A and B are shown apart, each in its own frame.
Chain A
Amino acid sequence: MIALAAVRGRAASLAGTFAGLTLGVALIAMTLLVHVSAMPRTPQRLAAAPVLVHGPVAPDAAGVGSGVRPWAGPDAVALAQRLAGLPEVAAAVPDRSFYAQLVVDGAPVGDPADAAAGHGWSSAALGAYPLVGGVAPDADGEVAADAATGLAVGARTTLLTARGPAEVTVTGLVGGPGVYLSEDAAARLSPGVPVIGLLLRPGADPAAVAVAAREAAPGAVVATGEQRAALEPVQQAKTRWLGTQLLIAMASLAVFVTVFVVASTFALNVAQRRRELGLLRTVGATPRQIRRIVLGEALLVGAAGGIAGALLGTAAAGPAGRLLVRWGLADPGLEVRLQLLPVLAAVAVGVGVALVGAYAAGRRAAKVPPMAALRDAAVEARAMGPGRWLLGGGAFVLGGFLAARTATAAADERVNAALFAAMALTAAAALLAPVLLPPLVRLVSWPLRAARGAGPMLVRAESLTAARRTAATAAPVIATVGFAVLLSGMVSTMREAYPAGQAAKLAGITVAVPDRTPGLTDAALAAGGRAVLPSRVYAEGLSIAAFGTATGPVSVAAGVADALGVRIGDTVTVVFADGLTERLTIARVTPDGQVDDDLILPRDLVRRHDPSALAAAVVGVDAAALAGLPGVEVLDAKAYADRESGEDSRLLWLFATVLIALSVGYTGIAVVNTMAMSAEGRRPDLAVLRGAGTTPRQALRHAAAEVLLVVALGAGLGLAVTVLPLLGMAAGLEEEVGVPVALRLHWPVTAATVLATAVVAVVASLTVTRRAWRHQAR
Chain B
Amino acid sequence: MTITHSPVAEAVGLVGARKVYGTGAQPVTALDDLTLAFPTGTFTAVMGPSGSGKSTLLQCAAGLDRLTAGTVRVGGVDLGGLSEHRRTVLRRERIGFVFQAFNLVASLTAAQNVELPLRLAGRRPAAAAVRAALAEVGLADRAAHRPSELSGGQQQRVAIARALVTRPDVVFADEPTGALDTAASREVLGLLRTAVDGHGRTVVMVTHDPVAASYADEVVFLRDGQVADRLGGAARVPGRAEQIAGLMARMEQR
**Chain A contacts to B: CB under 8 angstroms:** 1-2, 5-6, 8-10, 275-276, 279-289, 369-371, 373-374
Those of B34-74 within 8 Å (CB) of chain A? 55, 59, 64-65
Decide: A289 near B120, CB < 8 A? Known: A1-B112, A282-B64.
yes
CB pair B120 A371 closer than 8 Å: no
CB pair B105 A279 closer than 8 Å: yes
Among residues of A, the one whose C-beta sits closest to the C-beta of B87 is A370
CB pair B120 A284 closer than 8 Å: yes
Among residues of A, the one whose C-beta sits closest to the C-beta of B108 is A5
Output the least CB separation between A283 and chain B (Å): 5
* A2-B105 Cα distance, complex, nearest whole Å: 9
* A281-B59 Cα distance, complex, nearest whole Å: 13
- Name the B residues within 8 Å of A280 (CB-CB): 105, 116, 120
CB pair A8 B120 closer than 8 Å: no
6 A-B residue pairings within 8 Å (CB atoms): A1-B119, A282-B64, A286-B88, A286-B120, A373-B102, A374-B59
CB pair B106 A286 closer than 8 Å: no
In this assembly, does B93 line the interface, its C-beta being within 8 Å of a C-beta of chain A?
Answer: yes
CB pair B65 A371 closer than 8 Å: yes
Query: In the complex, which of the residues A276, A289, A369, A371 contacts B106, with contact meaning CB atoms closer than 8 Å?
Result: A276
Other 19 A-B pairs with CB < 8 A, given A2-B105, A6-B105, A284-B92: A1-B108, A1-B119, A2-B116, A5-B105, A5-B107, A9-B107, A276-B105, A276-B106, A279-B104, A283-B92, A283-B97, A283-B162, A284-B88, A284-B93, A284-B117, A285-B88, A286-B120, A287-B85, A370-B64
Output the least CB separation between A364 and chain B (Å): 16
Query: In the complex, which of the residues A1, A282, A287, A374 contacts B91, with contact meaning CB atoms closer than 8 Å?
Result: A282
Output the least CB separation between A292 and chain B (Å): 11
Decide: A8 near B88, CB < 8 A? Known: A282-B97, A283-B117.
no
Interface size on B, residues (CB 8 A): 28
- Name the A residues within 8 Å of B103 (CB-CB): 279
- Name the B residues within 8 Å of A5 (CB-CB): 105, 107-108, 112
- Name the B residues within 8 Å of A8 (CB-CB): 107
CB pair A285 B120 closer than 8 Å: yes
Mask for B102-135, Cβ within 8 A of A = 1, else 0? Answer: 1111111000100011011100000000000000
- Name the B residues within 8 Å of A281 (CB-CB): 88
* A373-B105 Cα distance, complex, nearest whole Å: 11
Which one of A5, A275, A280, A281 has the greatest number of beta carbons of chain B within 10 Å? Answer: A5
- Name the A residues within 8 Å of B91 (CB-CB): 282-284, 370
Among residues of B, the one whose C-beta sits closest to the C-beta of A376 is B102
Query: In the complex, which of the residues A275, A289, A371 contacts B64, with contact meaning CB atoms closer than 8 Å?
Result: A371
- Name the B residues within 8 Å of A370 (CB-CB): 64, 88, 91
- Name the A residues within 8 Å of B108 (CB-CB): 1-2, 5
Query: In the complex, which of the residues A9, A283, A287, A374 contacts B120, with contact meaning CB atoms closer than 8 Å?
Result: A283
Among residues of A, the one whose C-beta sits closest to the C-beta of B58 is A374
Which one of B89, B104, B108, B162 has the greatest number of beta carbons of chain A within 10 Å? Answer: B108
Which one of A2, A276, A281, A283 has the greatest number of beta carbons of chain B within 10 Å? Answer: A283
In this assembly, does B242 line the interface, its C-beta being within 8 Å of a C-beta of chain A?
Answer: no
CB pair B120 A6 closer than 8 Å: no
In this assembly, does B169 line the interface, its C-beta being within 8 Å of a C-beta of chain A?
Answer: no
- Name the A residues within 8 Å of B107 (CB-CB): 5-6, 8-10
Output the least CB separation between A256 and chain B (Å): 31
* A280-B102 Cα distance, complex, nearest whole Å: 11
Output the least CB separation between A277 and chain B (Å): 10
* A765-B89 Cα distance, complex, nearest whole Å: 44
In this assembly, does B218 line the interface, its C-beta being within 8 Å of a C-beta of chain A?
Answer: no
Output the least CB separation between A276 and chain B (Å): 6
Which 3 residue pairs spanning A and B have beta carbons closest together? A284-B92, A9-B107, A5-B107
* A276-B120 Cα distance, complex, nearest whole Å: 15
* A286-B102 Cα distance, complex, nearest whole Å: 20
In this assembly, does B10 line the interface, its C-beta being within 8 Å of a C-beta of chain A?
Answer: no
Query: In the complex, which of the residues A276, A283, A287, A374 contacts B174, with contact meaning CB atoms closer than 8 Å?
Result: A374
CB pair A286 B85 closer than 8 Å: yes
In this assembly, does B149 line the interface, its C-beta being within 8 Å of a C-beta of chain A?
Answer: no
* A373-B59 Cα distance, complex, nearest whole Å: 11
In this assembly, does B84 line the interface, its C-beta being within 8 Å of a C-beta of chain A?
Answer: yes
CB pair A279 B102 closer than 8 Å: yes
- Name the B residues within 8 Å of A275 (CB-CB): 102
Output the least CB separation between A219 and chain B (Å): 66
* A287-B112 Cα distance, complex, nearest whole Å: 20
- Name the A residues within 8 Å of B55 (CB-CB): 374
CB pair B105 A287 closer than 8 Å: no
Among residues of B, the one whose C-beta sits closest to the C-beta of A275 is B102
Which one of B59, B91, B107, B112 has the greatest number of beta carbons of chain A within 10 Å? Answer: B107
- Name the A residues within 8 Å of B88 (CB-CB): 281, 284-287, 370
Query: In the complex, which of the residues A2, A276, A286 contacts B89, with contact meaning CB atoms closer than 8 Å?
Result: A286
* A2-B109 Cα distance, complex, nearest whole Å: 11
* A370-B59 Cα distance, complex, nearest whole Å: 10
- Name the B residues within 8 Å of A289 (CB-CB): 120
Output the least CB separation between B101 and chain A (Å): 10
* A333-B106 Cα distance, complex, nearest whole Å: 56
